[in-house]
Amino acid sequence: MGPAILRRILHIDMDAFYASVEQRDDPSLRGRPVVVGGQPDRRGVVAAASYEARRFGVHSAMSMARAVRLCPSLVIVPPDFSKYRSVSTSVFALFRSVTPLVEPLSLDEAYLDVTENAWGEPLGTTVAKRLKEAIRETTELTASAGVAPNKFLAKIASGWRKPNGLTVIPPDRMEGFLQQLPVDALWGVGPVTARKLRSRGIERLVDVRQVAIDELQQAVGSLASWLKQLADGVDDRPVVPDRPSKSAGSENTYTEDLTTLAEILMELTAMAEHAAGWLGRKHLLARTVTIKVRYADFTTITRSHSTPHPTSDRDELVQRARRLVDRTDCGRRPVRLLGVSVHNLVDANAATPGDGKLPWEDALFTAGPSRASSTS
C-alpha cells in the first residue's frame, strides 16, 4: 500500500448568518447591535446576534430579556427562515460546484473535502480564498474558513479569526496549534464537562494526553477515547456528503446548555422548518418526525411520531416536533444537543391524494428541478 493521502479539509461558517442577512437587506441596521429572535415580553430567545451586539455580551440561545438588559439599544428582528434558506441554497450551490464532498452541518456551515476539486487547485488555502470571494460576490455576506488535514482542526480554525477570517493549519504546524487550545475546544466538551476536567487539572487540550484513560472516563464517560484522539490531533472521519434520502435532519451541539423551554422550542422549530424545506426541494414526503435530545450529563434520547399519511407541510412538521418535547425533560434538565429528522420518506411525485399531499405542494413539486439541500 502507498502512503496515505494528506486530506485538505475546509470548514466554512457564515458570519452571524441570520443577523448578517437582515443587515444586508436593511441598510438602517448596519453598524447597529442587531439580534434575530422573539420578543422579550414573550420569553423570546436570541437566534443570532450581530457582531455589534456581541460586544455587549449578547449571544445566541440567550433569553431576549437578558439581551436587552445587556444592550438597551438592541434592535430585535423577527426571524425569516425562508429568506435564510434561500441564501443557504445559493451558498451550498457554490460549495458543490467545487467538490461533491460537502457535508452540511446547518444552514450556514459545512465541511468540504477539497483534496480533489473542480478548480484543480492543489492548495486548500486557495480554494478557501476563492470560495470566500464567491460567497461575497453572490450573497454580499462574509464567511470564515478553516483549512486543516482533518475535520476537528478545520472546525476550530474557522472560528479562530471571525468574522471574515481564514485560518490555515498545515501538518507541520498542527502541534503548535494544539498547544494553544483550552480543553473546551474539544468537540463534545461543554461548560459542565470542562469544569469536571479542570477539577482534575486538565486545563489545556494537550493535558488530556497525560491523563490515564480510566480517570478520563470518570469525567467524560464514553467520550474518553475520542477525546484522547482529538488531543493528539487525530480525526479520521471522512467528509460525508448528503446520504441517500432514507432520512434527513439536522442537529446542533450548543456551547452553552439550553435551560428554558422557550429557547428549546425555538431551536426545534428552526430545525423542523429546515427539514420541511429539504423535503420540498427533494420532492419527498415524510411519515415520521423524530427529535433527538442530549442532556447536559450526555444522556441521549429520541422521540418519534408517525402517521399513515406522509407530508412535507412545514406547519404540520413543526407542530409534531414541538409536541414531542412533551415526552422529554426539556425545560427541567439542561440540554446540550438538539436535533430534528424526518424518516419513512415517500416520493411526492408518486404520491396519491390519500398520501396526504396538500394542494399547494403540487405547484411546489412541479416548479422546476430541486435545489441543493443543506441538510445532512
For 220, the enclosing helix (H) or strand (E) is helix 213-220
SS (H, E, C) 98-118: HCCCEEEEECCEEEEECCCCC
Global pTM reads: 0.66
Query: What is the SS3 assignment for 261-325?
Result: HHHHHHHHHHHHHHHHHHHHHHCEEEEEEEEEEEECCCCEEEEEEEEEEEECCHHHHHHHHHHHH
181-231 belongs to CATH 1.10.150.20:
yes
Residues of the chain scoring pLDDT < 50 = 1-3, 351-376
Domain covering 1-167: architecture = 2-Layer Sandwich (3.30)
Taking each helix axis as running N to C, give the angle between helix 81-98 and helix 17-25, from 0 to 180 degrees, rounded to the nearest 10. Answer: 110
| Annotation marks residue 109 as catalytic | yes
Candidates 103, 109, 263, 361; catalytic one? 109
- Can you give the pLDDT at residue 372? 28
For the chain, give every domain's residue range: 1-167, 181-231, 247-365
> How many CB atoms sit inside 10 A of residue 77's CB?
20
What residues contact residue 77 under an 8 Å CB cut-off, 6+ apart? 19, 22, 29, 34, 35, 36
CATH 3.40.50.1220 applies to domain 247-365? no
Residue range 187-223, pLDDT digits in tens: 667 777 888 888 888 898 898 898 889 888 887 777 7
Q: Are domains 1-167 and 247-365 of this chain identical in fold?
A: no
